[in-house]
Amino acid sequence: MDEVLLRRLAPDVLGVLVRRGADFAAAEDAVQDALVEAVRVWPDGPPRDPKGWVITVAWRKFLDAARADTARRRREDAADGEPAPGPAPAVDDTLWLYFLCAHPSLTPSSAVALTLRAVGGLTTRQIARAYLVPEATMAQRISRAKRTVAGVRFDRPGDVATVLRVLYLVFNEGYSGDVDLAAEAIRLTRRLAAAVDHPEVAGLLALMLLHHARRAARTAPDGGLVPLAEQDRSRWDTAAIAEGVAILQAALARDRLGEYQAQAAIAALHADAPAAEETDWVQIVEWYDELARLNASPVVLLNRAVAVGEADGPRAGLAALAELDAALPRRTAAAAYLHERAGDLETAARLYAEAAEKAPNLAERVHLTRQAARLNTS
C-alpha cells in the first residue's frame, strides 16, 4: 500500500467534501474512514483514479453518518444526493486547509495536531506515537480542535504567519515516534511554498532544509548529541544545503526580510564553513542583530550571545548573556560553554552539571553530564 499516495490525497479529498457543504469535523472523519477502506481493498495497487475513488467513498461515508445522526438531518437534505461519478476535479485545497487548521482560536499544540491529521494525512495513532502520548489523549486533542473550527468560513486569505508558526512547531518536534515529523514538516512546507508566493514561506523551507541537512551528523552511534563544532561535515547532505541556499537567495533578493529568512541566513553561514574554525561568526552576529530587530525573543538573544562569544571572545559573550533572564532555558548551558572558552574550567564544570539537571530531554542531559565529567577529570 502506497502510504505516500494516501497522505497526499487526504487534504485534497477533505477540501472537496468541505466545499460540498460537509462540516469540517464530519468530513475529516469520513476521509479517514475512506483511507482505511482504501488500505483494505487496494492490496495490489490503487484504482485508475485513486482520488476519485477516495472522494466517492468518503462522500458516501459522510452521507451515511449524516443519515444516522438526526442532528445533521438538515445537512443531508441540502446535500442533493451523491455527485455523478467521473474523474475527480484537479483542485488543490491544501492552502485553504492550512489556514483552517491554523485558526487563531486553536492552541498551538491543537493546530499542529489538526494540521498533521487533515493536511498531513497521518492517523491519530501515528500522531500520538510521534508525540509520545496515548492515542486517546491525541484523539481528544484533535476532536476538540475540530469542534473549534466547525462551521468556520474562510472567505479571505488567512494569516500566513500563523500557518508558518504551526509548520515550524511541527519541524521542531524532531524525529520521535514512527513518523519523522521533521521530514513531514518539510513535505508540508513544500506544498505550501508551491501554493503561496511569499518570501517567508520560502525562508522557512530553506531553514528546514539547511537544518535537516545536518541530521546524520547530529548524533553519535550511542545516540548522544554531537555539537555543531564537532560534527563530521562530510556527512552533511550537500544536495539539501544547495537547495536551501538557492531558495534562500531567491527569497532575500525580494528585499522583504522576515525572521525565517534571517534564521536561514545564519544556518547557511554555518553550512558554508568547511570547518568549524572557518565559520564567519562576525557575519552571523550581524544576522542575529537583524533577527533581533524582527523578533527579539529570549531564544534569539541567547543564541546571539553565544555568537558574540565566538566573534568577539568569550568575555563579550558572557557580558551579553548577563543581560538575559537567569531562568531562560539553556542559558546555563551557554554560560558553561563560554566559561570553558574563557579558561574557567571549574565554573564551567559546575554550570554544565547544573544545566544537565535542567535539560528538557534525555539526550541533552547525557551530553551535558558528559561535558561536566570531562572537565572534572581533566
Give the whole-angstrom CA distance, residue 13 versus residue 8.
9
pTM of the model: 0.76
Cβ distance 114 to 145 under 8 Å? Answer: yes
Averaging pLDDT over each range in 17-31, 79-93, 261-275, which range is the top one?
261-275
Residue 201 pLDDT exceeds 90:
yes
Q: If you average pLDDT over residues 235-255, what whole number do you get? A: 97
Q: Kindly list the distances between the CA atom of residue 341 and the CA atoms of 1, 41, 94, 191, 316, in Å, as whole numbers in the listed order.
A: 53, 62, 48, 43, 11
Q: Kindly list the distances between the CA atom of residue 188 and the CA atoms of 163, 192, 260, in Å, as whole numbers in the listed order.
A: 11, 6, 16
Averaging pLDDT over each range in 1-15, 35-49, 127-141, 278-292, which range is the top one?
278-292
Residue 72 pLDDT exceeds 50:
no
Instruction: Enter the DSSP assignment of 121.
Output: -
**pLDDT per position as a tens digit, 162-176:** 888 888 888 887 665
Strands (E), 240-318: none
Question: Strand, coil or helix: what is 233?
Answer: helix
Which pLDDT score, from 0 to 100, does residue 322 have? 96
Q: If you average pLDDT over residues 266-281, what whole number do you get? A: 97
Q: How confident is the model at residue 15 (pLDDT cuts 50, 70, 90)?
A: confident
Residue 86 pLDDT exceeds 70:
no
Which pLDDT score, from 0 to 100, does residue 178 have? 56
Calculate what percentage of the chain has a pLDDT beyond 90: 45
Q: Which residues contact 299 (CB under 8 A, 6 or more apart)?
A: none
Q: Does residue 317 or residue 184 have the better pLDDT?
A: 317
The alpha carbon of 359 is separated from its chain's Cα centroid by a whole number of angstroms, namely: 21
Q: Kindly list the distances between the CA atom of residue 155 and the CA atoms of 96, 99, 149, in Å, as whole numbers in the listed order.
A: 10, 11, 14
Our separate counts of H helices and E strands in the chain read: 19, 0
Question: Strand, coil or helix: what is 330?
Answer: coil
Q: Which of 24-38, 66-80, 133-147, 184-198 has the lowest mean pLDDT?
A: 66-80
What are the residue ranges spanned by the domains of the chain?
Answer: 1-91, 93-186, 297-378
Residue 208 pLDDT exceeds 60:
yes
Average pLDDT taken over every residue of the chain: 85
Which pLDDT score, from 0 to 100, does residue 94 have? 67
